[in-house]
Structure 1
Amino acid sequence: MITQATAYPTLSLALGSGKRSLPWLLFLAVAGSLLLWASAKIQIPFYPVPMTMQSFVVLFLGFALGPRLGAATVLLYLAQGLAGLPVFAGTPEKGLGLAYMTGPTGGYLAGFVAAAYVTGWFAQRGFDRRLATTALAALAGLSVLYALGLGWLGVLVGWGKPLLEFGLLPFLPAEALKLALLAAVLPLAWQGVSKG
């Protein structure tokens, strides 16, 4: 079992000079939830479907904040949505609050929490320092995210439907791009931190 003493520091710890005070952690969580909110609202033209940066931000939050704070930040974002704030992609047009969260994207929202935890777990083990290991850790996070998303989608629409064609395949090109971006950016960020 990894302990805090043997864990690799996350980017937030390295940049915050090891700060763990409650105000600092709350600031990081609120800032992360706002970043996730913004990432849901910006659509980038892409083929075959428009791309948001939500999954990128979810994985980044896990890497940067660690498993517990990363997952807690995503939970804060979900709490904002549950309270009726239009934080999700397609809101308020596609509904708000619990009605939206229990719809077809509900599993993906739950997957956000799990994905942030998974990538944070890998970050505590130093996987975000090199391109190849960052890519593997991001792929693990995305796999968990899509497993939960497709699982809930299957419950809602039925397992006889072409779930992969609805809930996975159209998003793979964009996810590959975001994964490559994470794999490039995080090791560079660590190089900058180590020089600073």
Structure 2
Amino acid sequence: MLTHRKQAVLAEIIPSGPSTMAGLHQLGLVLAGVLLLALSAKVVVPMWPVPMTLGTLAVLMIGAVYGPRLGIITIAAYLFCGALGLDVFAGTSIAENGLAYMMGPTGGYLVGYGLAVLVLGFAARAGWDRSMPRMALALLVGNIAIYLPGVLWLGVLYGWDQPILQWGLMPFVLGDALKLCLATSVLTLAWRICENLSHERGLGDEESP
């Protein structure tokens, strides 16, 4: 179970300057997150049995790095950009964007983005991003949170007599497993680096006259 004790997330240990600049700092993080999501959705990596995009990796990483509140704000801003017709989703053109695209086959996965960022955000708040086994478990649950509404929505659109799992889940399992391994390694390594730097700064302060 997730502990109730709140831990800092990675985004909160980035120096933000004076407290009066905190709002601008968070706005910058949201804009950076939206840009990362849009760019990641367009990156296509050759993979068997289907090419792999990095959109879900970006979602999970943002949840863990930003925490639940800033993470869900970032996802909401990203979806808002998509609803306006901006070309921020995977494999789309200007004509295919907007609300019509969001109500199509990928609509359920977009809902799952919000669920996943909350899962990873609360896990990070509980300190799970500092432990490789716990981070791997949280990322797995977050990935399930993306695919559950995605597959359910495909069933609603096309009918449960269709091979829904073969369409919306099975082709992506291998690529997602690789992304989860990458995210687990990067996030836990980031915390180790931050903790080492903090420890070194503390030693420096103790030694200074």
Alignment TM-score, normalising by the size of structure 1: 0.94
In structure 2, the CA distance between the partners of 1:93 and 1:158, relative to structure 1 (3 Å rule), is farther
User: 1:85 — aligned with what?
Assistant: 86
User: 1:35 — aligned with what?
Assistant: 36
Give the alignment's Cα RMSD to 1 decimal: 1.8
1-structure distance, mates of 2:84, 2:191: 36
1:155 matched to 2:167? The reply is no
* Structure 2 residue identity aligned to 1:43: V
User: 1:15 — aligned with what?
Assistant: 14
User: How far off its partner does 1:169 sit?
Assistant: 0.3
1-structure distance, mates of 2:95, 2:26: 32
* Structure 1 residue identity aligned to 2:52: M
Alignment TM-score, normalising by the size of structure 2: 0.88
Does the 8 Å CA contact 1:63/1:120 hold for their aligned counterparts?
yes
* Structure 1 residue identity aligned to 2:196: K
Number of residue-to-residue matches in the alignment: 194
* Deviation readout 1:41-89 (Å, 9 max, x if unpaired): 1101111111111111000000000011111101111100100000001
2-structure distance, mates of 1:72, 1:16: 20
2-structure distance, mates of 1:135, 1:164: 23
User: How far off its partner does 1:17 sit?
Assistant: 6.1
Question: What secondary structure does 2:44 align onto?
Answer: coil
1-structure distance, mates of 2:117, 2:144: 12
1:98 matched to 2:99? The reply is yes
In structure 2, the CA distance between the partners of 1:94 and 1:42, relative to structure 1 (3 Å rule), is farther
The structure whose Rg is larger is 2
2-structure distance, mates of 1:16, 1:121: 22
- Segments of 5+ residues of structure 2 without an aligned counterpart are 198-209
1:190 matched to 2:197? The reply is no
* Structure 2 residue identity aligned to 1:46: M
User: How far off its partner does 1:91 sit?
Assistant: 1.4
User: How far off its partner does 1:94 sit?
Assistant: 6.8
1:115 matched to 2:116? The reply is yes
Does the 8 Å CA contact 2:86/2:94 hold for their aligned counterparts?
no
* Percent identical residues: 45
* Structure 1 residue identity aligned to 2:11: S
Moved more, 31-40 or 93-102: 93-102
User: How far off its partner does 1:36 sit?
Assistant: 0.3
User: 2:202 — aligned with what?
Assistant: none
User: 1:59 — aligned with what?
Assistant: 60
In structure 2, the CA distance between the partners of 1:32 and 1:86, relative to structure 1 (3 Å rule), is same
User: 1:172 — aligned with what?
Assistant: 173
